[in-house]
Every structure is written in C-alpha cells, then in structure tokens.
Chains A and B, each alone.
Chain A
Amino acid sequence: MSGSRGSGHIILRDILNASSIKRPIVKKYALLLFAPLVCLLNVSISFAKIETGSYSTQSSTADHSQFEELKQDFKTGPEVTAACLGCHTEASKQLHKTTHWTWAFENKLTGQTLGKKNVINNFCVATASNWARCTSCHIGYGWKDASFDLTSEESVDCLVCHESTGSYKKFPTAAGHPNYVPKKWPPKKGKTRQPPNLSEVAQSVGKPGRSNCGACHFYGGGGDGVKHGHLDSSMHNPSRELDVHMDATGLNFDCQTCHTTGSHQVAGSRYDPKASDKRGVVIPGLKDQNRASCESCHGNTPHPETANVKLNEHTSKLACVTCHIPEFARGGRKTKMWWDWSTAGKKDPDGKGIVIKDAQGYDTYNFKKGDFIWEANVEPEYYWFDGEVQFSLLENKIDDSGVVPINNIKGSYDDDKSRIWPFKVMRGRQPYDSKNKIFGIPHLFGKDADAYWQGFDWNNALAAGFKERGFEYSGEYDFVETEYYWPVTHMVAPAENSLSCESCHSAEGRLQNIDGVYIPGQNRFPWLDIIGWLIVLGTLGGVLLHGLGRIVAAKNKKRG
C-alpha cells in the first residue's frame, strides 16, 4: 500500500496516546512488565478501562492562511483546485483512482461493477439522467451529463473534504459546484443561499473533519439521515451515548481514525465489506493498515477477563456491532424506512402538488416522491453475513413475483467467514420495466418535460432514463416492492448501553431470523419441554398421591 506512511503517523500517535495511560504507579509497572507478553500472546487490552485523551488535535505544520497562492480572489472552485495542485502535484491523480471520484467500483469477489454510476437503489433510484442533482455529492466540479471528463485534474473538488469554515456548500443542483452568486434555495421558499468566500475557504484547509465527510454522507438519499440511519447530522458533534468513539467531548474520533487513508484511498467500503476481520489488532508493520473494523483496534477477544468468558466466544459468530449498536437513528433524527414511488404525482384540485408532513416536520407524502415511513431509534434486523453482496444491476433480470432484493447478502452459520450482522433494511416500491423485467431508471431531475418532476409522466421519465444508460424501454412499467440491506456500523453505543444477553437469549429475542444455530433461551424443543415437565410433575404427583395414600391407610388402620 503506497500510502502506508500517512497511516503510520496516525498509528504512532495512537501508541503515544496509549502509553500515557493514567493508572496507579504499581499497576503501571505491572503493565510494563506484562505488556510485551500481552502483545506476544495477541491478547487485547480492555479498552473500556483505559483513560484516553481527545483524539483529534490539529497538528499540521502548514498554516494555509499564510500561503500567497491562496490569497487570491478565486472566482470558481476549479481555480482553487489549480492553486492547490501548484504544490500538491499528485493530489488529483490520486483522487482520480478513488471511488469517491469514479463512482465506479470493481468488486473482486463478485466481479460486479458497482458504484453510484451503476447501482440502483430504492431511494432516488439511479444517478444516470439525474447527474446535476446527484453530483452535488460528487468530489468534483461539473458532472452534469455523461460527457463529464473524469481525467480533468482541475475538476477535483479539494475544498469539500478539506475546508474547515463550514461555509462551503455544493449547491444542490449545480453538478458539484457551490453557487458563485446568491441563489434561491430551496426554490419557492423565499430563502437565498449566499456564495462562499472562496479565498477564505481555501485558506482554511486541513485534515478533514467529521463535518466534511458528513456534508455528503450524513445527507445521502436526499436529506438528513435518509439513507443510512446510522449517519446523520447528529453525528457532527455526537454525545458519548450516541457514538462512544466520535463523542465530541470525549474520544472525538474523526471518520478517518477508522476509515484510514493513504493516497486519498479511504478504507472501509460498503461495496466490499469484511464480515469478519481475523487480522486482530492492526499493528504498525502489517501490510494492511486498514482499520475500518472494530477488531483492528479491539482485537478478536475484546472483552476484559472480568467479563463473562462467553462474551469473547461470541465474537466468532457475532459482529461487534450486533450487540454494541442496540438501535440506529438514535441521535434525534429519523431515517427513511419505506419509500413508495407508486403513489407519487398527486396534486390538489388547484393543481398544486400535495405534501403531507408528520408532527416533527418529516414528509410522509410528497407528490414528487410518493409515500414515506420514517423511524427513529430503530432496532436493526439481523442476518448471517459473510461479506459477499450480489447487487441486482440493470443487466440482471428481476423476479417480480415477490419482493426483489436490490442486494443479496450471503452467509450462513456453517462457514467461518459469516457472522450475524445488524442491518437497516430499506423497503419500498419503485418503477420497473414490467415486460423486460429490469429495474427502471427514472429521469427525475431536469428542466426538460421528460423529467418526472416536470411532466409527472412515468413513461417519459423511464424512457429518458433507460436511454441514458443505453437500455431499451419496452414501454410498459409497473411498480415492484424492493428491499436493500445496509449493514449498520456507526453510532456505536458505550459498553453499558450495549445489548444484554436477554436481548437475544429469550423466547422473543432479536435473533428470530437466525437459523443454523441453537440459541439458548430462544430455541426450545417443545416436545422435550412437554415430556420433561410431564416427568417432573408426574413424579411430584406420584409422590404426593403415594404420601396421601399412606396417610389415609395409616388413619384407617388406627380407626380399624
């Protein structure tokens, strides 16, 4: 990995942090004595017991506000990038190789080509034909149609990830550009969005913070918390209860503390998940410095010796997050759980689109998008997962006789890669070509009459969408129910708030879906219980009758 030097710095700092553990002096010496032994045996230390300082401290040796190159009156984003590239000569070349840039991802395990350019989801369905809207979350400038030049170095947006003023925002419909003049947003709401001061923004650059990543990842699917449910605006500055690692007043992790980076490649992609990380603690020197797994810091036996030994035995079959994320969408924001496109398009008698909101202001119906169900504090669904995910892509025929999985997650008790994982399962109904049996690509956004949000005609919208992807549209559409499995990995709760044994080990436990393994307390053999209690109660009844018989017999004898 060419970027191991960058990650090495982070790891060194970790070790320095970890060695300043505040403990009584005797224990400290004991720790010194045993530390090498512990490392040798690959026994992990209980993290819960270690006092740690704030993780995030700015320590850059460069103050970009002093750089003459950045004291310019920048007119556009690409002008800023040109200035960045003056020193950071390799930056754009590195970015060009990332999924953040290409929106295409080769999954080596399945051979599928994924990425936002190719996958279909059950939110706004597809990027094709909706570029300028979708690419407001692309790390580039100007991806407004299929002709976008993916080799342009100056089209890389450095600022969205590296600026720290919080004032730089990509305009929602400007294909990745911020607005350079005051613009109305949201439309028809009477509000104006001022352009950012690009000079000030450029001088503020540094290491990305949570809010840089969050600018897109907290708002995926078209709004705050919509898509993931475990990433939303509450994660800008989360409390300890919400996320024990990102706790703004505690450990204060950045995203890249776990999603380690090198050459701008960010570790830990949902397109290539690891259901079970057997590397253990990732120490410097290991070839793979990817720390986007709990195990890469906590090891495979993370629970302290004082805890029930069975806990550490669970780690081979349970993902850490299965117990340690008791619920998602815990930060006071709701996440979308159901999206029914089939009901979209309703207008009132005056021809005005209908929007219905719930008590907290969340749309439960929007004429542009259909019906929604929103939920907060959601209990995940649990499934065996070995890390292999097969997506239903446009090339794949779908079976419309039932619910169509957008991604098939593989896994079972029987292989040693699979573990029980928590999922947000996004469900909904979306358009498909009912003759060709393929998912529909709706052209939603645009000023043309074919766009669904202009003409509200599914036939036109689908014809335009399919054309963009180079697929024939049969002219017949319908809506099909789909489900999309999202592994839940963020919003890790403090240990004291993790699930209790009874959460699963009880008759109504959470793992009702899980087969292949006997779960004490949940699974029973009803016939054995019946026979067993009959034997026990039969014995009890027998001895009682016997005793009664003796008493009666003794009385009779006395009387007689």
Chain B
Amino acid sequence: MYARFERFWHWSQALLIILMLATGFEIHGSYALIGFEQAVSVHSFSAWVLIGLWIFAWFWHLTTGEWKQYIPSAPDRILSQIRFYAFEIFQGKAHPFHKKRDSKLNPLQRLAYLSLHVMIGPAIWISGLLYLFYKDWAAMELFSGISLTIIAMIHTAAAFLMLAFVVAHLYLALTMDEHPLSGLRAMITGYEQDPD
C-alpha cells in the first residue's frame, strides 16, 4: 500500500512534528521541559530537517504522480463520507469508500491532507523561516512590513492547527480501519490486506 519513501516520509515527519510541537510550545512559554535554549536548538535543527524532508516529499509526489491522491473529490462523495463519520458508523454500516493503492484517501482525508500540505505546512515553514531569519530579512530590507509579532502570531496559530491535526489523525488512523490497526501495520510494513 505504501511505498518505501512514503513510509520513511511519514514516520520521520511524524517524529519531527512531535519534536517541533513539544519544543515549539516550550518556546511559546506553555511549559518548561528541556530549557529555552535547548528547545530553540532542537526546534531550529528539526526545522531544517523537516524542510529538507518536505522538499523531497514534494519532489516525490510530483514525479510519481502521487499528488493526484490529494485532488478533492466531488461534493457528493465528500458528503457521503461526512454522513458516514457522523451517523452511519454508529449504525455499524460499512465504509463508503475502500482504500486502494491508487486511491488511498477517502474524500475527507483528501481534503485534510491537502490542507495540511498546502496550507498548514507552508504557513508554518514560511512563517518559521521569517521568524528564524528575522534579523537578516530586516538587514536585506525584505518583508519589512511584517513585524515579528505578526510572524509569531501566524506561526503559533498554525502550530495549534498542526497539534489539532495530530490529535484527530491519531484517532482516525488508529481506529477507523476496516480491520483493526491494519493501517498502522501498512504504514510500517508497506502492505495492507485488500478487503476486496
């Protein structure tokens, strides 16, 4: 189900995002864990690794055509998926869509991951780079209209959305399979039993 790169991407990204959330909210001042300086170091370092990973991921998606998996579905398909999560699942009805190699994502997943990749992700890394090089941008007289306050605000807001995504993703990914935990197994081994 999942290619080697896809699995590597998923798990390293997961690790990095958790690391960055943990250190990011420490920098934000939500709690004290490893100390501000350490948190900044880990956060900045992970940021570079994650950005590198994302570049590879974008490249991989574009060259393999896998990006098409994120094309939003027709509205009626989206509605039927919503109907499933909202009502049908409690009635014990079957999933409206089956996971296939060439169509791994259900209509809501498509929307969620698309917004993760083209909205939350870029919001974080663009604001993050502005944040990290704030002094240099100022020296180059670039982005001078954007104060650090605004940058920090966008970065923090995106981080909250990322954290909410992680929570929802964990629930859905771990409990929504037609066979218990088959998605997790597939994300580790690459293979998933095709229900058909």
Contact = CB atoms under 8 A, between A and B. Distances in A.
A553 B90 contact: yes
A313 B137 CA distance: 12
A520 interface: yes
Given A518-B148, A518-B149, A554 B37 contact: no
A549 B87 CA distance: 10
A528 B153 contact: yes
Nearest to B165: A539
A520 B29 contact: yes
B94 interface: no
Contact of B90 (A308, A316, A528, A550): A550
A301 to B, nearest CB: 12
Given A313-B135, A500-B36, A521 B92 contact: no
A500 B37 contact: yes
Contacts of B149: 518, 523
Interface stretch (A102-110, A135-143, A341-349, A540-548): A540-548
A379 to B, nearest CB: 18
A501 B36 contact: yes
B111 interface: no
A518 B41 contact: no
B71 interface: no
A557 interface: yes
Given A521-B36, A550-B89, A316 B135 contact: yes
Interface residues of A, number: 38
A522 B37 contact: no
A507 B90 CA distance: 45
Interface string A267-295: 00000000000000000000000000000
B114 interface: no
Nearest to A527: B153
Contacts of A540: 167
A505 B36 contact: yes
B40 interface: yes
B29 A535 contact: no
A517 B41 CA distance: 21
A532 interface: yes
A543 B147 contact: no
By secondary structure, the B interface counts as helix
B27 interface: yes
A520 B35 contact: no
A532 B156 CA distance: 8
Say whether chain A's binding surface is mostly helix, strand, loop, or mixed: helix
A524 B168 contact: no
Given A308-B41, A522-B29, A547-B171, A533 B160 contact: yes
A502 B156 contact: no
A310 B44 CA distance: 10
Contacts, number: 89
A539 B170 CA distance: 11
Given A500-B37, A522-B29, A553-B91, A528 B156 contact: yes
A529 B161 CA distance: 12
A316 B135 CA distance: 9
Contacts of A52: none
B28 interface: yes
A500 B36 CA distance: 9
A540 B167 CA distance: 6
A525 interface: yes
Contacts of A517: 148
Contacts of B167: 536, 539-540, 543
Interface of A: 308-310, 313, 316, 500-502, 505-507, 517-518, 520-525, 528-529, 531-533, 535-536, 538-540, 542-543, 546-547, 549-550, 553-554, 557
Given A549-B90, A553-B89, 17 more contacts: A316-B135, A500-B37, A501-B37, A501-B40, A505-B29, A518-B149, A518-B152, A521-B36, A522-B29, A529-B156, A535-B160, A535-B161, A535-B164, A536-B160, A539-B164, A539-B167, A546-B85
Across the A-B interface, the 9 shortest Cβ-Cβ residue pairs: A532-B160, A543-B171, A501-B36, A553-B90, A521-B29, A539-B164, A518-B148, A518-B149, A501-B37
Interface of B: 27-29, 32, 35-37, 40-41, 44, 85, 89-92, 135, 147-149, 151-153, 156-157, 159-161, 163-164, 167-168, 171-172, 175
30 contacts: A308-B40, A310-B40, A313-B135, A316-B135, A500-B35, A501-B36, A501-B40, A505-B36, A506-B29, A518-B149, A518-B151, A521-B27, A522-B29, A523-B152, A524-B29, A525-B156, A528-B153, A528-B156, A528-B160, A531-B160, A532-B157, A536-B164, A536-B167, A539-B168, A543-B167, A543-B172, A550-B89, A550-B90, A550-B175, A553-B91
